[in-house]
C-alpha cells in the first residue's frame, strides 16, 4: 500500500514537472519576438569627404633680377611683410656706376642736340642732321631709364602682403639673375583643391542650379577638427581625368586668423543630395568576410541572409545601393540569435518610428 502511494506521488511530481517545463517553454517562445522594420526610401543629403590640398591665394617665388652679392636682408623667415616693404638688397655699386655713365652720356648728347637744333633754326644744318641728333638724344635718355631700372632691380620689395618662407640664399652670397631667394604667400584666403567623381559632380551641378547660388563646404583639418569658417566652391576644372573619372573642384576659404598655411592637407566636407535613397539602420546589418548582410523576412516569417551594397554611411544609418527593396522586411534586433532559413516570430515597426530613435549598439 505504501509502495502504491509512493508511485502515485512520483507520477504526480513528474506530471507537475513536465507541465511546468512545457509552460516555461511556451512562455519563452512567446517572449522571443524579434523586431522587424523596412528600408526607408526618401530624398536626403549626405556629407561626402574628399582628400584636399590647401594652397595660398597667392604663392610666388621671389628671384634675383640682377647678378650680385646679397648685401642686405631686411626680413626674417616666417615674418609677415607688407606690400612695398624692402626684403633684399643686392650690391648696387655696378648699377650705380652704369646709371652715372648713362646720365653723363645723356647730358653730352643733350648738349649736342641743343646745338644742332639752334643751327637748324638758323638753317645752317639740314633737318636730317637735326633728326639724327634728336634720335641720339632719345637713345641716351632710354639708356638712363634702363640703368635706373637695373638699379631698382637690386632692391627687392614685397609685391603684396604675405608671409615669408625660408631663405634660399644667405647674406653675402653671390646670386645670379633668376636665382631663387625665397617664396611669399598671401594667406588671407585659401584655395582648397579636391577631386569629385562624375556622378557626384552631376548631383552637385543640379543642386547648385536649383539653389542658384554657390555651394558651401567645410574643411576638416589634419587634427580632425573642422575649420571654423565655411568655404565656397568657386571653380571647377574644364575636363575630367579619364584615368580616375574625377574632376577637380576649387573651394575658397577665408583665413582671417592665418591658421591655414600653403601646402597643408585636409578633407573637404561637401553636402551631396541623393534622390530616392534607400536607408537602413546600421545595426540591422552584419559583416561576413568584409561584406555587409541583412536578414530579410519572407511572407512565411522565415529569415534569409541577403548581401547589400552600401552606397554611403551616415550616423547610425547606411544608404543602400542594391540588395534589397523598399518593400522588404528586415530584421532589426536579434540578428545574432537567428540563422538563415529559420522561422521567427516578430513585431513590425515602421521605419519612420525606428530611425529617429536609433543608436548603434552591440547585442
Q: How far is CA 42 from the centre of its chain?
A: 28
Copy the grid coordinates of residue 254: 577665408
First-to-last CA distance in the chain? 57
Left (φ > 0), alpha (ψ -120 to 50) or beta: where does 258 sit?
left
Per-residue pLDDT of the chain (363 residues; tens, 9 = 90+): 444 545 544 445 455 444 445 444 444 444 468 999 999 988 888 888 899 999 999 999 989 888 888 888 898 888 899 999 998 988 877 777 777 888 888 788 888 888 888 887 878 778 888 788 888 888 888 888 887 877 777 888 899 999 988 888 788 888 888 889 999 999 999 999 999 988 888 877 877 666 556 678 999 999 999 999 999 998 899 899 888 889 999 999 999 998 999 999 999 998 877 778 899 999 999 998 889 999 999 999 999 999 999 988 888 889 998 899 999 999 998 888 889 999 989 999 988 888 887 764 434
Query: What pLDDT, on the 0 to 100 scale, is given for residue 27?
Result: 45
Q: Quote the pLDDT of residue 311.
A: 84
Residue with cell 518610428: 353
Q: With the CA atoms of 283, 285, 287 and 288 taken in that order, what torsion angle do they form, in degrees rounded to the nearest 10?
A: 150
Full DSSP string of 309-339 = EEEEEETTEEEEEES--TT-EEE-S-TTS--
Q: Decide: residue 78, CB within 10 A, 0-12 exposed, 13-18 middle, 19+ buried.
A: exposed
Distance CA 192, CA 266 (A): 9
CB-side neighbour CA atoms (13 Å) of 148: 7
Class of domain 47-56+185-275: mainly beta
Q: Yes or no: is domain 33-44+276-357 CATH 2.40.420.20?
A: yes
Tell me the domain boundaries of the chain.
33-44+276-357, 47-56+185-275, 72-171
Q: Which residues contact 36 (CB under 8 A, 6 or more apart)?
A: 297, 329, 330, 331, 332, 346, 347, 348, 349
The C-alpha atoms of residue 44 and residue 225 are separated, in whole angstroms, by: 25
Beta-ladder partners of 272: 46
Tell me which CATH code domain 72-171 carries: 1.10.287.470
Say if strands 40-63 and 265-281 run parallel, antiparallel, or are unpaired: antiparallel
Q: What is the pLDDT of residue 68?
A: 84
Amino acid at each position: 500500500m505504501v509502495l502504491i502511494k509512493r508511485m502515485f506521488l512520483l507520477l504526480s511530481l513528474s506530471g507537475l514537472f513536465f507541465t511546468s517545463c512545457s509552460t516555461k517553454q511556451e512562455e519563452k517562445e512567446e517572449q522571443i519576438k524579434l523586431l522587424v522594420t523596412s528600408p526607408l526610401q526618401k530624398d536626403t543629403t549626405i556629407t561626402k569627404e574628399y582628400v584636399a590640398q590647401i594652397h595660398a591665394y597667392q604663392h610666388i617665388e621671389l628671384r634675383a633680377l640682377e647678378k650680385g652679392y646679397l648685401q642686405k636682408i631686411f626680413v626674417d623667415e616666417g615674418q609677415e611683410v607688407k606690400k612695398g616693404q624692402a626684403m633684399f638688397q643686392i650690391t648696387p655699386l655696378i648699377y650705380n656706376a652704369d646709371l652715372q655713365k648713362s646720365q653723363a652720356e645723356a647730358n653730352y648728347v643733350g648738349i649736342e642736340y641743343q646745338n644742332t637744333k639752334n643751327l637748324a633754326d638758323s638753317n645752317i644744318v639740314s633737318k636730317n642732321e637735326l633728326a639724327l641728333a634728336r634720335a641720339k638724344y632719345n637713345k641716351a635718355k632710354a639708356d638712363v631709364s634702363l640703368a635706373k631700372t637695373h638699379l631698382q632691380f637690386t632692391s627687392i620689395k614685397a609685391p603684396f602682403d604675405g608671409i615669408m618662407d625660408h631663405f634660399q640664399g644667405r647674406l653675402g652670397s653671390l646670386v645670379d639673375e633668376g636665382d631663387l631667394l625665397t617664396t611669399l604667400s598671401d594667406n588671407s584666403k585659401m584655395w582648397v583643391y579636391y577631386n569629385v567623381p562624375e556622378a557626384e559632380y552631376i548631383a552637385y551641378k543640379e543642386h547648385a542650379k536649383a539653389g542658384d547660388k554657390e555651394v558651401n563646404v567645410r574643411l576638416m583639418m589634419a587634427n580632425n577638427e573642422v575649420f571654423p569658417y565655411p568655404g565656397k566652391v568657386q571653380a571647377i576644372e574644364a575636363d575630367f581625368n579619364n584615368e580616375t573619372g574625377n574632376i577637380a573642384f576649387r573651394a575658397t576659404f577665408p583665413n582671417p586668423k592665418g591658421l591655414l598655411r600653403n601646402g597643408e592637407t585636409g578633407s573637404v566636407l561637401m553636402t551631396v543630395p541623393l534622390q530616392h535613397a534607400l536607408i537602413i539602420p546600421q545595426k540591422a546589418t552584419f559583416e561576413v568576410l568584409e561584406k555587409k548582410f541583412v536578414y530579410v523576412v519572407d511572407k512565411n516569417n522565415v529569415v534569409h541572409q541577403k548581401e547589400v551594397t552600401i552606397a554611403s554611411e551616415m550616423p547610425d544609418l547606411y544608404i543602400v545601393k542594391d540588395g534589397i527593396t523598399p518593400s522588404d522586411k528586415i530584421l532589426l534586433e536579434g540578428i545574432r540569435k537567428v540563422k538563415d532559413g529559420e522561422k521567427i516570430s516578430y513585431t513590425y515597426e515602421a521605419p519612420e518610428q525606428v530611425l529617429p530613435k536609433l543608436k548603434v549598439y552591440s547585442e
